[in-house]
């Protein structure tokens, strides 16, 4: 009979424990959880604060009693692990309710303590609240119920943005403070502009590029001398792996600060496995350690550990970092690496932008979206994808994330046979279109220029030709652009500038056709990837869109 102790519940720990029981009815499985709740939907906590999830009980998935009844799991809440003795193979714990200390022996230990909220040592920090568990949400809910007039969320990551939206939904004047120059760091600059606009449109104030300096009883002060009224302050600047016990036990910690594990989630001690936010996952792009604090992969790795202990054949599971967040009426989703990370790593890559509709444009209700694909120019492997829009973003990112996992290259996205009917998509789905565009660029059929390269190309002697209609151009175009609508190019050929031409349109589609025409006519022409929409949503150009 195997004796197994699990430190920490929720996604990774409980996924392991339930799977282990299904594989081995005789195993003695004990779960110790420091908090009072072992199985809850922590991703739903912001929506309970906002009142979208009306009842707290909806967040509680299992209790110690239900887990014992179904799985015969010995779950001990309010029980904290104090130390791990790897030589004696035992865990010393304390019952936080009565202070009683005792030891649990193990054949296998599963380490799943999660991550701790980062709380900088600043004046007044004790007044701020965090949101990591049910106890946190109870404290925060009681403050929100007192109807504060103002709130400041420190941090513009996924949780920070979700919290700001839900506080706003409660009628609280809310501000987001982010030390970086943008929220949602997985997005690249030209993609996050849509998010900034959406947040501001709903009345949430953004304070970007300035960090928190101190918290007073009524406000917060930033390092740029800005003071913001704040009856409620929420810290959401991120989390760090909770590895105190692991370090004390002599387990190897990786370069990113999480517990280092192998492909089976086994630590440097072969009797101890680790899972969840405390662990460094294996990154799918470069194979190095990565911190990916997401529930999906925690659940999957819990199952991997159980299978390995039970002697089953294992499929190693690396991490792509696929994530999604609701920002008011926008859906924002990513998978893989962004452009900033690829540049920092010195990797070669190619970029494709597209701005398709969520379904057939002639069917009512079609919504626009923006997609960005990052591609290895040699292997054509998909390195990352980002999507922002009001409808249909989730399924496109999921399809591409699946393609990445399956080794489908960027051009091969054109070959995917996806479900189509006018209410749901287009005959050429946005995913297919990314494949077509990628193939055109990789084959050299239509050379492209990125929004960030326009000034450089102009300095190299390129003239800009905008092939949209006159009405479109009157609403904004690139500085110095000549307007010749695509349908008039042949007749107005004499008006084309001599030398090299940079073609632009609204989203890149007409630009592709015009670039092909010009190249057939003997011109050296390149297309602005993503067109005016991508260029105008870049950080500098979004401030002032140039009119004709």
322 in a domain, yes or no?
no
Q: Are residues 399 and 431 located together in one domain of the fold?
A: yes
Q: Are residues 244 and 344 located together in one domain of the fold?
A: no
Of 400, 419, 442, the one marking the end of a domain is 442
486 in a domain, yes or no?
yes
320 in a domain, yes or no?
no
* Domains identified in the chain, total number: 4
Strand, coil or helix: what is 129? Answer: strand
pLDDT digits (tens, 9 = 90+) for 100-123: 999 999 999 999 999 888 999 999
Task: Mention every residue, 6+ apart, whose C-beta is less than 8 A from residue 18.
Answer: 67, 71, 73
Range(s) of the domain holding residue 370: 329-442
Q: Are residues 224 and 247 located together in one domain of the fold?
A: no
More confident residue, 60 or 393: 393
318 in a domain, yes or no?
no
| Residue 513 belongs to domain with CATH number | 3.40.250.10
Q: Are residues 134 and 224 located together in one domain of the fold?
A: yes
pLDDT digits (tens, 9 = 90+) for 281-309: 999 998 888 888 888 889 999 999 999 99
181 in a domain, yes or no?
yes
Q: Are residues 139 and 231 located together in one domain of the fold?
A: yes
pLDDT score for 547: 37
Of 403, 422, 442, the one marking the end of a domain is 442
CA angle 118, 266, 301 (to 5 degrees): 70
What phi, psi does 40 have (nearest 5°)?
A: -145, 160
pLDDT score for 63: 84
Q: Are residues 303 and 336 located together in one domain of the fold?
A: no
pLDDT score for 235: 93
pLDDT digits (tens, 9 = 90+) for 457-477: 999 999 999 999 999 999 999
Q: Are residues 151 and 181 located together in one domain of the fold?
A: yes
Q: Are residues 536 and 497 located together in one domain of the fold?
A: yes
46 in a domain, yes or no?
yes
3-state SS track over 241-309:
ECCHHHHHCCCCECCCCCEECCCCCECCCCCEEECHHHEEEEECCCCCEECCCCHHHHHHHHHHHHHHH
pLDDT digits (tens, 9 = 90+) for 475-516: 999 999 999 999 999 999 999 998 999 999 999 999 999 999
pLDDT digits (tens, 9 = 90+) for 186-225: 999 999 999 999 999 999 999 999 999 999 999 999 999 9
| Residue 144 belongs to domain with CATH number | 3.50.50.60
User: What mean pLDDT value characterizes the chain?
Assistant: 93
Given the residues 23, 43, 310, 513, select the one marked as catalytic: 43
pLDDT score for 521: 94
Helix, strand, coil proportions of the chain in percent (round to 5)? 30, 25, 40
72 in a domain, yes or no?
yes
| Interior/surface letters 320-357, b for 16+ CB within 10 angstroms, e for the rest | bbbbebbbbebbbbbbbbbbebbeeeeeebbbbbbbbb
pLDDT score for 542: 67
Q: Are residues 68 and 153 located together in one domain of the fold?
A: no
pLDDT score for 61: 76
272 in a domain, yes or no?
yes
Residue 548 has pLDDT above 50, yes or no: no
Q: Are residues 130 and 230 located together in one domain of the fold?
A: yes
Q: Are residues 262 and 303 located together in one domain of the fold?
A: yes
Q: Are residues 75 and 17 located together in one domain of the fold?
A: yes
Of 309, 337, 362, the one marking the end of a domain is 309
**With pLDDT > 90 as the criterion, what percentage of the chain qualifies?**
81
pLDDT score for 60: 73
505 is catalytic: no
Beta strand 525-528 with 501-504 is parallel
Q: CA 329 to CA 390: how far, in whole Å?
A: 6
């Amino acid at each position: 009979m195997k004796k197994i102790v699990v430190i920490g519940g929720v996604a990774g720990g409980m996924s392991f424990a339930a799977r282990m029981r299904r594989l081995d009815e005789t195993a003695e499985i004990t779960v110790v959880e420091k908090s009072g709740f072992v199985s809850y939907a922590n991703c739903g906590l912001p929506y309970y604060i906002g009142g979208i999830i009306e009842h707290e009980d909806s967040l509680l998935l299992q209790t110690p009693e239900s887990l014992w009844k179904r799985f015969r799991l010995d779950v001990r809440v309010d029980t904290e692990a104090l130390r791990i003795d790897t030589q004696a193979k035992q865990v010393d714990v304390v019952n936080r309710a009565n202070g009683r200390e005792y030891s649990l022996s193990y054949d296998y230990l599963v380490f799943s303590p999660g991550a701790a909220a980062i709380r900088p040592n600043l004046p007044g920090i004790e007044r701020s609240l965090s949101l990591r568990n049910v106890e946190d949400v109870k404290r925060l809910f009681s403050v929100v119920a007192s109807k504060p007039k103002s709130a400041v969320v420190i941090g513009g990551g996924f949780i920070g943005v979700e919290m700001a939206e839900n506080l706003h939904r409660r009628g609280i004047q809310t501000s987001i403070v982010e030390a970086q120059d943008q929220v949602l760091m997985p997005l690249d600059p030209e993609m996050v502009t849509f998010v900034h606009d959406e947040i501001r449109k709903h009345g949430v104030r953004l304070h970007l590029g300035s960090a928190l300096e101190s918290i007073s009883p009524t406000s917060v002060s930033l390092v740029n001398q800005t003071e913001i009224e704040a009856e409620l302050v929420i810290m959401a600047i991120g989390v760090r792996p909770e590895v105190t016990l692991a370090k004390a036990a002599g387990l190897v910690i990786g370069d990113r600060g999480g517990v280092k594990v192998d492909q089976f989630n086994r630590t440097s001690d072969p009797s101890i496995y680790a899972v969840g936010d405390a662990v460094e996952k294996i990154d799918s792009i470069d194979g190095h350690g990565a911190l990916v604090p997401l529930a999906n992969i925690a659940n999957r790795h819990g199952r991997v550990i159980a299978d390995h202990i039970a002697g089953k054949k294992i499929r190693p599971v690396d991490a792509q970092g696929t994530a999604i967040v609701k920002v008011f009426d926008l859906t924002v989703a990513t998978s893989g690496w962004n452009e900033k990370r690829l540049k920092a790593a010195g990797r070669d890559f190619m970029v494709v932008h597209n701005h398709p509709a969520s379904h057939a444009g002639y069917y009512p209700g079609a919504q626009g979206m923006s997609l960005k694909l990052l591609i290895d120019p040699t292997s054509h492997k998909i390195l990352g994808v980002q999507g922002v829009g009001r409808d249909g973003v989730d399924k496109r990112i999921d399809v591409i994330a699946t393609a990445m996992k399956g080794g489908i290259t960027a051009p091969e996205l054109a070959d995917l046979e996806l479900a189509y009917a006018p209410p749901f998509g287009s005959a050429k789905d946005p995913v297919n279109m990314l494949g077509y565009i990628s193939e055109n660029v990789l084959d050299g059929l239509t050379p492209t220029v990125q929004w960030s390269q326009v000034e450089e190309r102009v300095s190299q002697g390129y003239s800009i030709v905008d092939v949209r209609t006159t009405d479109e151009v009157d609403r904004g175009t690139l500085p110095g652009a000549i307007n010749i609508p695509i349908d008039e190019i042949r007749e107005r050929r004499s008006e084309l500038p001599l030398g090299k031409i940079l073609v632009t349109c609204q989203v890149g589609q007409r630009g592709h056709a015009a670039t092909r025409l010009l190249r057939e006519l003997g011109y050296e022409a390149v297309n602005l990837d993503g067109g005016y929409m991508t260029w105008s949503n870049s950080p500098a150009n979004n401030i002032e869109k140039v009119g004709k």
